[in-house]
């Protein structure tokens, strides 16, 4: 049967031209233009221009077209459509949550042969970041700009009012009571904190550090409706109802939350360390940055890697891949790595950078970043289950129903658990 079908296929593919070529290396020998799809907004243009001009100084054969696509979600949509149509860019930025599903679908070029052929020092990233950019033992992308979940707070107010940032989830209660200010009519004048509810990444560690598994080890069930999850959800809900906290949700949630912080409408916010520079630049008070509240055991302070990775789509042409690999190596050099870190709020990702004098000087200038980086051993790869993103989005919708619309906690979490189970069973 196979033979006949193969003949049928061959009849249709008669005009196809195929060839075998065993390339001796991944070198670029002819001028080529490559596209790089990224998510850097306009304010990052100076950094982009600096990086590309530096690259062109040593690589005149390769012209890089940096194309802003939009948010990570929009890049994902565009990349999926591009893969389906076969018209892909040579390089693409992706959020750290996507590598597992991209790896499972074979969207990314496996970089191991390139790494081996060019002697690229992958070990310099450290085990955590290598795991975060691998799938089933294969390196499918490289860490690009890495961040983690943090809390930003008004350090001037903290010093003046004696507010201590919480280190565990249960300490949040006392912290919020002290940090929240009310008007005479009982409405909130200044929230204790704002939970960033538009992306599950910002709050998931509050659950995970207290023992909640979004997907259990069996890969088929969840304890998102278990005792620990219900406890954390009830607590957050209580704080929101009391006016201690605000749940930022919706399309304009991120700018709303930032503006609220800058206007003094909230004492603190949950956000990403990558926006450290922006928070500092826009605030007329000193901005503090600290690690997320850990588990109630007082010992678990895990966070998950955020920011972006960079990948080469598997169905780009080999010439495009070769040029992309050259640019990719340049983008992740220690020099560029530190340049981005210094001009944004992303972490230096190379171990060799951390030991350098330039990095020491950088941390001297940014002591808050130093505090967070000292905790960086707690940064973990994202969940590697390809269904995680789908499941976590179901969770995000459910929490919005509870926190924004006031839906009953247990009923919604039970419904969520049922949907998650069905989703996982259908994978």
Partner 1 sequence: MRTNSLLRAPVIPKTRGIKTAHILLWIFGALLVIIGLLGYMAGDLQVPFLQSIADDVHAARAAAQNAGLPVSGEIQLFADGVPVMFWDGTVSAWFVSFVMNTAVIIMLIGLTLIFNAVMLKKQSWEDMKDLLCVEPALFFFLLFVYYPVIDLIRISVTDMRMLSDTTFEYAGFKNFKWLFAGTGSRYFLESLRITATYTFWELFITLVGGMLLALLFSRLNKLFNAMRTIVFMPKYIAVATSAVVFIWILNGRFGILNNALSAVGIQGPDWLNNGSTALTGILILTGWRVVGYAMMIYLSAMIGIPQDYYEAAAIDGADSISRFRYITLPMLAPTTLFLFVTTFIASMKVFQSVDVMTGGGPGRATNVLVQWVFNLSFQDFRVARAASVSVVFFAILLFCTILTMRWSNRAVNYDQ
Closer CB to partner 1, 252 or 361, in the complex: 252
Tell me if 41 contacts partner 1 by CB under 8 A.
no
Largest CA distance in the chain: 83
Q: Is 358 in the site for partner 1 (CB under 8 A)?
A: no
Q: CA 405, CA 397: separation in Å to the nearest integer?
A: 11
For residue 305, state whether it binds partner 1 (rule: CB under 8 A).
Answer: no
Rule CB under 8 A: say whether 401 interacts with partner 1. yes
Which 381-400 positions form the footprint of partner 1 (CB under 8 A)? 386, 390, 393, 397-398, 400
Selected from 315, 352, 356, 384, the binder of partner 1 by CB under 8 A is 315
DSSP 8-state class, residue 346 = P
Residues 78-107 that bind partner 1 (CB under 8 A): 80, 83-86, 101-102, 104-107
Give min distance, CB of 76 to partner 1, in A: 7
Structure tokens at 77: 């949509």
- Of 180, 292, 302, whose CA–CA distance to 241 is shortest? 180
**Does residue 418 interact with partner 1 by CB under 8 A?**
yes
Closer residue to partner 1, CB minimum distance, 213 or 421: 421
Among positions 48, 115, 117, 181, the unique one binding partner 1 when judged by CB under 8 A = 117
Q: Which residues of 248-270 are buried (b: 16+ CB within 10 A; e: fewer)?
A: bbeeebbebbbebbbeebbbbbb
Question: Judged by CB under 8 A, does residue 419 bind partner 1?
Answer: yes
For partner 1, which residue of 58, 251, 299, 357 counts as binding (CB under 8 A)? 251
Q: Closest separation between CB of residue 365 and partner 1, Å?
A: 32
Q: Does 61 bind partner 1 (CB under 8 A)?
A: no
DSSP per-residue string spanning 371-395: HHHTTGGGEEPPP--TTHHHHHHHH
Q: For residue 228, count CB atoms less than 10 angstroms from its CB and return exposed for 0-12, middle for 13-18, buried for 19 or more.
A: middle
CA distance 229 to 128: 26
Query: Can you tell me the distance from the alpha carbon of 120 to that of 102, in angstroms, rounded to the nearest whole number?
Result: 23
Q: Which residues contact 80 (CB under 8 A, 6 or more apart)?
A: none
Specify whether the CB–CB gap between 247 and 404 falls below 8 A.
yes
Among 314, 351, 356, 375, binds partner 1 (CB under 8 A): 314
* CA dihedral sign of residues 219, 221, 224, 229: negative
Q: Single out the segment in contact with partner 1 by CB under 8 A; choices: 20-28, 61-69, 164-172, 333-341.
A: 20-28
Q: Mask 128-167, x = binds partner 1 (CB under 8 A)?
A: ----------------------------------------
| Closest to 291 in 3D by CA, of 279, 281, 302 | 302
Question: Which residues contribute to the site for partner 1 (CB under 8 A)?
Answer: 2-3, 5-13, 16-26, 73, 76-77, 80, 83-86, 101-102, 104-107, 109, 112-113, 116-117, 249-253, 256, 259-260, 265, 314-315, 318, 321-322, 386, 390, 393, 397-398, 400-401, 404-405, 407, 418-419, 422, 426
């Amino acid at each position: 049967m196979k033979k006949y079908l193969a003949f049928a296929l061959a009849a249709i593919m008669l005009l196809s031209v195929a060839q075998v070529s065993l390339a001796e290396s991944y070198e670029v020998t002819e001028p080529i233009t490559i596209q790089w799809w990224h998510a850097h907004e306009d304010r990052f243009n100076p950094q982009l221009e600096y990086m590309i001009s530096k690259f062109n100084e040593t690589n005149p054969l390769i012209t890089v077209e940096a194309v802003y696509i939009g948010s990570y979600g929009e890049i994902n949509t565009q990349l999926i459509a591009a893969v389906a149509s076969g018209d892909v860019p040579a390089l693409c930025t992706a959020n750290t949550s996507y590598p597992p599903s991209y790896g499972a679908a074979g969207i990314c070029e496996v970089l191991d042969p390139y790494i081996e052929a060019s002697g690229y020092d992958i070990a310099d990233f450290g085990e955590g970041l290598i795991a975060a950019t691998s799938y089933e033992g294969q390196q499918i992308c490289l860490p690009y700009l890495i961040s983690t979940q943090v809390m930003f707070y008004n350090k001037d107010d903290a010093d003046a009012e004696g507010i201590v940032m919480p280190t565990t989830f249960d300490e949040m209660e006392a912290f919020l009571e002290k940090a929240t200010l009310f008007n005479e009519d009982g409405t909130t004048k200044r929230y204790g904190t704002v939970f960033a509810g538009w992306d599950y990444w910002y709050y998931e560690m509050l659950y995970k550090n207290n023992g909640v598994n979004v997907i259990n080890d069996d890969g088929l069930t969840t304890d998102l409706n278990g005792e620990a999850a219900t406890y954390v959800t009830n607590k957050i809900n209580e704080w929101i109802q009391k006016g201690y906290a605000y749940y930022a949700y919706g399309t304009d949630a991120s700018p709303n939350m930032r503006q609220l912080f800058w206007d003094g409408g909230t004492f603190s916010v949950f956000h990403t360390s990558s926006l450290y520079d922006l928070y500092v630049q826009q605030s007329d008070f000193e901005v503090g940055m600290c690690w997320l509240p850990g588990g109630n055991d007082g010992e678990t302070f895990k966070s998950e890697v955020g920011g972006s990775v960079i990948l080469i789509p598997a169905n780009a042409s080999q010439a495009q891949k070769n040029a992309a690999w050259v640019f990719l190596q340049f983008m992740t050099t220690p020099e560029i790595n530190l340049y981005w870190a210094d001009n944004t709020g992303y972490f230096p990702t190379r171990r060799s950078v951390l030991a350098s004098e330039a990095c020491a000087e950088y941390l001297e200038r940014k002591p808050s970043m130093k505090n967070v980086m000292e905790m960086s051993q707690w940064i973990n790869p994202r969940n590697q289950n390809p269904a995680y993103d789908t499941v976590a989005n179901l969770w995000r919708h459910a929490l919005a129903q509870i926190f924004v619309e006031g839906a009953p906690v247990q009923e919604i979490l039970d419904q969520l658990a049922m949907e998650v189970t069905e989703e996982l069973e259908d994978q």
